[in-house]
A = this chain, B = another copy of it.
Amino acid sequence: MKLLDGAIAAVDHGGSLGRASALFPHAPRPFVDLSTGINPHSYPLFELPATALLRLPESERLRELTEIAAATYGAPSAAHVAAAPGTQILLPRVASLVKPGKALVLGPTYAEHARAAAIAGHTVAEVSDFDALVDADLAVLVNPNNPDGRAIERDRLLDLAARLRAEGGLLVIDEAFMDVGPSEQSLAGDVGEGGVVVLRSFGKFFGLAGVRLGFALAGKLMVERLDAQLGPWAVAGSALEYGIRALADTRWQDDMRRRLAADAERLDALLGRCGVPVAGGTSLFRYLSFPDALALFSALGERGILLRHFDDRPQALRAGLPGSEAEWQRLEGALAAWASRRDDAPKEIVR
């Protein structure tokens, strides 16, 4: 168990081109940004009605959004869905649904959960063992996990939730990447029982991270409490319009799931050819774990290709999917160059 006392400090993330430029000032531009798990094939952009920008968002339109979200994610009803300007802003609010106590985060995982729990006043620790979560007042896990893709079975989650609920505790399951499965392990349909909050992210799968839209699926009373904190116009007009259209478009979603799975397979094959082992992930990102990880991060960065590295795990990397054939080519070239230099390196030392 790792105690996370100073966890309120800001944490490092992928997805910042500003920081990438500072790190690799001589890299060719534009950067190929594989540092996030955001889908590079976004839901098709469309022209918004001007009223989406000009007028206060209508409560009827918000109601439509929560109804569609409930149907798409499989929540019991719209009354079990709180919509917010991104999942991120929900984290401290969700962590505040139980009074300050002991928060346990199943790690390693997305660092903002520990930070949010600390902000909410909890004592926070990271545990690596699922069974240890039962001692928490607030237990948090990501399913499937970011960055390694580890999935936990629904039965085990329901059992944990029941045991936490019996003690007045709360289980938070961040299903940010559940759009690409394994959907049979989702607890979206089980939030009516209480004691569970499921978080769903809109921006990652739909490739619209700038729109800022996320959801908490929870018992009705908890949704009411979250809605009260967010106030009447938390979701911007553009997020309402994109959310309603894209979440209802199950055909696009099915096609995209297939496309992403094929892309992930292609990425694994490419990495494999260059001697980079893939240790896990989802079809929105692949998880790499091997001794030369930092060297690969730097070599690709200098060629303008950004992976995600982790300060506390130098052997780990996360790689998102290239978005175009040109990006695939740049990645392939950079990987091949790195692999051939790596093959040469021992000889140079011997010489």
Contacts and interface: CB of A to CB of B under 8 A. Distances in A.
A119 B229 contact: yes
A56 B85 contact: no
A233 B8 contact: no
Contact of A53 (B18, B42, B91, B115): B42
A210 B13 CA distance: 28
A235 B234 CA distance: 11
A228 B119 contact: yes
Interface string A217-234: 000000000001111111
Nearest to A18: B60
Contact of A211 (B112, B209, B232, B237): B237
A239 interface: yes
Interface string A10-23: 10010111100000
A44 to B, nearest CB: 11
A280 B135 CA distance: 59
A92 B234 contact: no
- Chain B CB count within 10 A is highest, among A85, A203, A237, for A85
A54 B112 contact: no
B57 A210 contact: yes
Given A85-B236, A236-B239, A207 B17 contact: no
A26 to B, nearest CB: 19
Given A54-B209, A210-B56, A236-B210, A92 B38 contact: no
A111 to B, nearest CB: 11
Nearest to A19: B59
Interface in A81-119: 85-86, 88-89, 91-92, 112, 115-116, 119
Interface residues of A, number: 53
B15 A55 contact: yes
A238 interface: yes
Nearest to A36: B56
Contact of A52 (B36, B59, B60, B210): B210
A11 to B, nearest CB: 8
Interface string A236-254: 1111001000000000000
A36 B36 CA distance: 40
A211 to B, nearest CB: 6
Given A18-B58, A208-B54, A210-B237, A92 B229 contact: yes
A345 interface: no
Interface of A: 8, 10, 13, 15-18, 33, 36, 38, 42, 45, 50-60, 85-86, 88-89, 91-92, 112, 115-116, 119, 203, 207-212, 228-239, 242
7 contacts: A10-B228, A56-B203, A57-B210, A86-B233, A89-B89, A211-B236, A212-B237
